[in-house]
Amino acid sequence: MVTISVVVNSLVVEQESESTITRALAPYELGRKLRQLRLRKKIALVDLGKHTGLSPSMLSQLENGKMIPTLPTLTRIAMVFDVGMEHFFAEKRQQKLFSIVRAGERMRFPERADTPTPSYFFESLTFSSQGKGVHAYLAEFPRRDAREVSEHFHEGSELLFVLEGSLAIRFQGEDHELQSGDSLHMDSSEPHSYRGLGETPARAIVVTVPPRI
């Protein structure tokens, strides 16, 4: 039963990840661009399949947006039509900024993939937005000892609002404790770090803004 549960959970995560990737690629309209290239060159699906080594059925699904092309697949097609990869990614569908991210579409990442005890986990709240001037995240901070966390920095500024729990922020060598409802705004080019203080992980909204030019 445990094995079956693990397999089912793995499939659910995989499906959610694929849905997220599909949504992120949607503004580039890869399928439409593939079809336009083929029709412009007056090449049938069968003939394009012979040139690329891909089946006509697979090419049809790519054009109709039912499949996501891998980079090797996209490269093969680009070589046939003598276009660069930028042809597929340089131009996005133009639309006013409006983007909804559903709770089930977000993906959770650790602070760093190479650390066994990350000081925080984050989910992007704006991953599907194009041309955004800010980046927003839902972050979770497990309880950590001060010796387990390392400082980091990045250009711009950062706003943090604590949703729940207790959180310690180290900034310019000083520790500051925040509780649910507290917020801070800081110059994120200065080294800083976070760590949860309670038995229950702290949760916060984090917004980063690039530096003004």
DSSP 188-206: TTS-EEEEE-SSSPEEEEE
pLDDT at position 143 is 96
pLDDT in tens, 119-128: 999 999 988 7
pLDDT at position 96 is 64
Q: What is the C-alpha to C-alpha distance for residues 16 and 207, in angstroms, rounded to an integer?
A: 24
pLDDT at position 213 is 59
The mean pLDDT of 55-62, rounded to a whole number, is 92
pLDDT at position 66 is 87
4 confidence band (pLDDT: 50, 70, 90): very low
Q: What is the C-alpha to C-alpha distance for residues 188 and 159, in angstroms, rounded to an integer?
A: 9
pLDDT at position 142 is 96
Report all structural domains of the chain as residue ranges with CATH numbers, in order of start. Answer: 2-89 (1.10.260.40), 103-209 (2.60.120.10)
To the nearest whole number, what is the mean pLDDT of the chain?
85
Q: Could you give the count of Cα atoms lying within 13 Å of 150 in the half-sphere of its Cβ?
A: 6
Q: What is the C-alpha to C-alpha distance for residues 97 and 74, in angstroms, rounded to an integer?
A: 28
Q: What is the C-alpha to C-alpha distance for residues 91 and 100, in angstroms, rounded to an integer?
A: 21
* DSSP state at residue 64: T
